[in-house]
Chains A and B, each alone.
Chain A
């Protein structure tokens, strides 16, 4: 049994997520009826027996810290290890704002050095998937690799959707040969899913040796530059994977959960997804409720029609209201006779009496708590 520690890198301010991250970071964006985006990576870690986790955060992390709390929901309130939130701070000459993931690791080298784990797995927070990291470790050991990067072969992808990561060139033995140039566009591309595994000692060495202002991204500027010297392999991931980096991908990912097979894959197979409990009472359906193909969380009070939608805890749908193809976050109020189509309604927003709000599927309308649509 090898000991693994985890590092979770949270993304920077992503303008493509628009108002969804106006008051929060991507990590604490609500998803799937009761979860936050971060829950998936964090639960993957805990389900793989990783109980020493560092969470690197620097943008609007108040909501994230509130969500994590002591880490007890993930069994991460521990004497040894547990969860440590690594935010930037001012101290000596090299401290301060993180300039990319490599710099974040460089500033927190002591965190890596203090651990006694053999391996470290470095993950991005904004990816939704279910993967036991021990499988990557088995792959890593079997191939005697120095670094293993997990990827998924995508059929249709645009550079625009995956600005965060390079596409990989891979040979028949899954060895990484190099990066595909960024301007490259093809039907098929190997997209890294934001998981890298390597020996902790090696990680410390690489970070110390490569610390330079230009080397921002851990994967692109440090690992990929070591291709001639090290055995870098790519682990093929076959399951469901979605990166939350645009409003469209956020909407699509939620809608993808309206599928029993995906629900099974993400929430039942290989352990549950843990999250902060909400303590709401079970959902209540009233006389005129008509709910089809939808996910309904606790505390919802449904008097109207709901179709192909996702309702978070505490949502009220008034009499005669119709909610279609929409995502309605915590404690939002949909009053009587409202028509809501292709919309994302933020927490505590209320849509007043008889209003009709209509977006299009490819570009869902966002409704903030001020009550007006902005998109």
Chain B
């Protein structure tokens, strides 16, 4: 079955900074926005961009990932050819040739490599257009980030013709604020030769950059930069996790979740709608399904199935699935999650 373009999604990052939240799951499965998991964003982007074949690369105990993705029907990716496939990205018995074999069966012209842990709504087709128009070997997508945090990213430099001429990793003083988003389009035949040269290399974002992108640039392959304009959030710490969630309340114009033309899809839940009791006071907040609210909530995000008892006050907080906030308790600037054992993290 031939496909022009297929996607590979790297869902195997696990940051130590996010430790308590990613105790059992990879970063891509972190909850977001009162309903979603981060991986829903790139998956829904693929769906809206007409890409129906996605290999999700993971390496951690992955039943939770598989349970979330299921048959892929939430993203209309449950069909006879292609769909979503979970691939192993590291560990004993891992061999890059298995991944190559997976891609080979679709004989794609282009392979889109995505990172499974960024929050953004992006149509990949204009990027593919640019890649084809420039006849590039690799195109990477970049977005402008605030100058003060530019040093946290991989900064790319491109000329007016969109040709990439320099990449800097975490520059101390950057002359540019265009950061790589971890979204690449490769010509498959070229990517394949580079992949097979490093059979032992882990399939990770680091590997993509170190083992493929840099050698390619070194060998003078044509690389282009696609400038993405829109909201893009990278989760690297509890703080940035916090901020990305709060952006939904404080910068609602940035990422419109109510936009019906670019819906974000997720595995469904069987929860009842949420109930605000006669004593509930809710303002400037996002409340997920199945919550039962008796208390006062302002500037907060509540994930599905949270119970807030009478007299409880929640301000500027994120309360994750299934938590129970007892009578008269007060939460301010708290991110609370149900992790075994119970833990709460104050940013």
Contacts and interface: CB of A to CB of B under 8 A. Distances in A.
Interface of A: 32-34, 72-73, 258, 260, 263, 267-268, 272-274, 277, 279-299, 301
22 contacts: A258-B275, A267-B272, A268-B272, A279-B268, A281-B33, A281-B258, A282-B257, A283-B286, A283-B287, A284-B252, A285-B285, A285-B286, A286-B283, A286-B284, A287-B284, A289-B282, A289-B283, A291-B276, A293-B277, A296-B274, A296-B276, A297-B273
B42 to A, nearest CB: 17
B73 A291 contact: no
Which 8 pairs show the lowest CB-CB distances between chains A and B?
Answer: A33-B273, A282-B34, A281-B257, A272-B270, A277-B268, A267-B272, A297-B273, A293-B278
A258 B278 CA distance: 10
Nearest to B71: A72
Nearest to A284: B286
A275 to B, nearest CB: 8
B281 interface: yes
Contacts of A287: 283-284
Contacts of A281: 33-35, 257-258, 263-264
A296 B263 contact: no
Contact of A260 (B258, B273, B275): B275
Given A272-B271, A281-B33, A293-B276, 16 more contacts: A32-B272, A267-B272, A279-B268, A282-B33, A283-B274, A283-B287, A285-B282, A289-B282, A291-B280, A294-B275, A294-B276, A295-B274, A296-B274, A296-B275, A296-B287, A297-B273
A72 B73 contact: yes
Contact of A298 (B35, B277, B278): B35
Interface in B136-177: none
Contacts of A258: 275
* Prevailing SS type, chain A contact patch: loop
A263 B273 CA distance: 10
Interface in B59-76: 73-74
B276 A260 contact: no
Contacts of B252: 284
B52 interface: no
B292 interface: yes
A315 B258 CA distance: 11
B258 A284 contact: yes
Contact of B275 (A263, A288, A299): A263
A285 B288 CA distance: 11
B262 to A, nearest CB: 11
A219 to B, nearest CB: 32
Nearest to A259: B275
B272 A263 contact: yes
B263 A282 contact: no
B289 interface: yes
A226 to B, nearest CB: 39
Interface in B267-313: 268, 270-289, 292, 297
B273 A298 contact: yes
A119 B277 CA distance: 43
A279 B47 CA distance: 14
Given A284-B286, A285-B282, A279 B270 contact: no
B289 A298 contact: yes
A281 B257 CA distance: 6
Contacts of B279: 292
Given A32-B273, A33-B272, A279-B265, A292 B278 contact: yes
Interface centre among B34, B252, B297 (most CB of A within 10 A): B34
A34 B284 contact: no
B97 to A, nearest CB: 35
Contacts of B275: 258, 260, 263, 294-296
Which of A258, A285, A287, A290 neighbours the largest number of chain B CB atoms within 10 Å of its CB?
Answer: A285
A291 B284 CA distance: 12
Nearest to B282: A285
Contact of B292 (A260, A274, A286): A260
Nearest to A276: B268
Contacts of B289: 282, 297-298
Given A277-B268, A291-B280, A298-B35, A285 B273 contact: no
Of listed A277, A279, A281, residue having the most chain B CB within 10 A: A281
A279 B263 contact: yes
Interface in B12-34: 33-34
Contacts of A268: 272
Contacts of A260: 275, 277, 292
Contacts of B270: 272-274
B258 A299 contact: yes
A296 B287 CA distance: 9
A274 B275 CA distance: 18
Given A277-B268, A281-B258, A281-B264, A295 B287 contact: no
A267 B268 CA distance: 16
A263 B287 CA distance: 18
Contacts of B286: 282-285
A274 B284 CA distance: 30
A274 B270 CA distance: 6
A225 B252 CA distance: 65
Contacts of B292: 260
A282 B305 CA distance: 12
Contacts of B287: 282-283, 285, 296
Contacts of A72: 73
